[in-house]
Amino acid sequence: MSVDQLPVTATLVFPARLTPEALEQAAAPVAVTLDEGARNAVVGCHDFLHLCLAEGREIYGATTGFGPLVTFAGQKEAADQCENLLFHLEVGQGADLPPAIARAALLARVWTLSQGRSGVSLAVIDALRATLATSFAPAIPEFGSVGASGDLAPMAHAVRALQGRGQAYLGEVRMNAGEALTRAGLVPLELTGRDALALVNGTSVTSAAAGLALTALSRSLAAATALTALMADVLGCRSDFVVPEIFEALGHDDTAGQAAVLRAHLADHVPGAERPLQEPYTLRCAPHLLGASATSLRHARQVVTDDLNGVSDNPLLFPERDVIAHGGNFFGQQVAFAADLMSITATQMANLAERQLDLLIDPHRNGGLNPVLAEAPGRDHGVQGVQLAATSLVARMRRRAVPASMQSIPTNHHNQDIVPFGTQAALTAHEQAQTLRLLHGSLAVALVQAVRVGARRPTTTAGARLADALDAALSADIPWATRVRRAADILDTAV
């Protein structure tokens, strides 16, 4: 066990398929193992690389300069060539990425390198595995990648930290990377051959951030569905809007699926007598919006999972065919598109939550409850501030939903003359997912407050269970901002 003495919380075995959910496990110490076949493939590919170099074959990044300088020779010594690469890529700017993203990126990199197509040394993979078994996380600046030739700058900073240079985290504490390595019981990473290029020349930060965004948004979809049902229950709405015949006629499977989940939440619902025949769209059309969200997330899951389990590097080596292939398996367009779709999806779910909150605080539409759900209007102001903050969050999400995946700007001496900006798309999707949690937390707080000021108790088993869990954690003597964050945490697990 490493010096920081944290227990391993999960074990992942390559070549099992890496899932977005597994990326979340990497936030804590995780054991990663390679089966014998994978280890042999890595060693065989590494030997093939050095055989080709001994034969005088031209190999990008090993015998040449990088990017548009490919027509020039690189450093003669392999270790110097690794330093040659990392020195010019250590250029990131901005705040550090969350350590959970940095560690997920290391896990994603292990998965692509372990497929035995990169020529990387087994020692490098073992070093990454050892790192993941501790709480060490490299400090990676947010900006610097255009998502082509992989996440060059972010991963260069990650490699520097693994070498004991730059900054790193041990748990939540930021410190000098060398100190973090020592305290974690790790030794500085040594590189040779094309180890450095294999570590940076792929979309691991992009796919890691997108995968973490996907898992968070999947939870948020469940939360949005549960909150919609709870709202309909508390207000006493009719449940006609989720009858199966509507969705059989519509023909969208995911929408029918979300309607079925809503029906399950409302299985023992008792409608009130005061609600109109038809509810506003924030309730009546919620199954359609949430169903469309499910479709988008299903597509994103396929794309991100494929990316996590593919080989993201260049060139690729195929020893069994005596082939070194130079191509573009670092161009993260698929994940870029999927991440932008996730950002848009998150924003529309946020729109729904904010509009449901607005309906809930309006006496003209909430069944006559006090305005802004105040207990004594004027002497207190209920959730008035909560809605103001929610409006601010929605506005931010709308601005952030502008797609990154088609913002290509030629760069790198026109070597990278079209780029996907997948890293920015994925990091934005991750940010959007975290903001959406706060919108749902805000709506949950308002639903608890509605019951406290006179709305009926939930009539459904599922609604009562959720309302009780929220009510127990949201005492009236804590600040509203804290209540929102607590509610968001409860929703992550309660639904």
Which distant-in-sequence residues (6+ apart) come within 8 Å of 265 by Cβ? 225, 226, 229, 230, 460, 462, 463
What DSSP letter does each residue of 208-264 carry, written as one string? HHHHHHHHHHHHHHHHHHHHHHHHHHHHT--SGGG-HHHHHHH--HHHHHHHHHHHH
CA distance 262 to 226: 7
- The conformational region for residue 171 under phi > 0 = left, psi -120 to 50 = alpha, else beta, is left
Evaluate whether 392 touches 303 at the Cβ level (below 8 Å): no
Provide the β-strand partners of residue 316.
Answer: 325
CA distances from 119 to 10, 35, 45, 221 (A): 28, 18, 5, 41
Closest CA to 266 of 293, 222, 218, 228: 228
Using the structure block, give the residue that is written with the tokens 């939550």.
353
Provide the β-strand partners of residue 173.
Answer: 170
CA distance 144 to 378: 50
Provide the β-strand partners of residue 73.
Answer: 64
What DSSP letter does each residue of 158-218 carry, written as one string? HHHHHTT-SEEEETTEEEEHHHHHHHHT-------TTHHHHHHSS-HHHHHHHHHHHHHHH
The catalytically annotated residue of 60, 66, 247, 421 is: 60
Size of the chain, expressed as the number of residues it contains: 495
Classify residue 282 by burial, with Cβ atoms within 10 Å: 0-12, 13-18, 19+. Answer: buried
What DSSP letter does each residue of 402-449 carry, written as one string? S-STT----BTTTTB-S---HHHHHHHHHHHHHHHHHHHHHHHHHHHH
CA distances from 360 to 356, 393, 399, 479 (A): 6, 18, 25, 20
Closest CA to 325 of 120, 78, 119, 39: 119
Q: How many CB atoms lie within 10 A of CB 304?
A: 31
Which distant-in-sequence residues (6+ apart) come within 8 Å of 153 by Cβ? 89, 90, 91, 92, 141, 144, 145
Query: Is 60 one of the annotated active-site residues of the chain?
Result: yes
Name the CA dihedral angle for 72, 76, 81, 87, rounded to a multiple of 10 degrees.
-80
CA distance 114 to 126: 10
Catalytic residues: 60
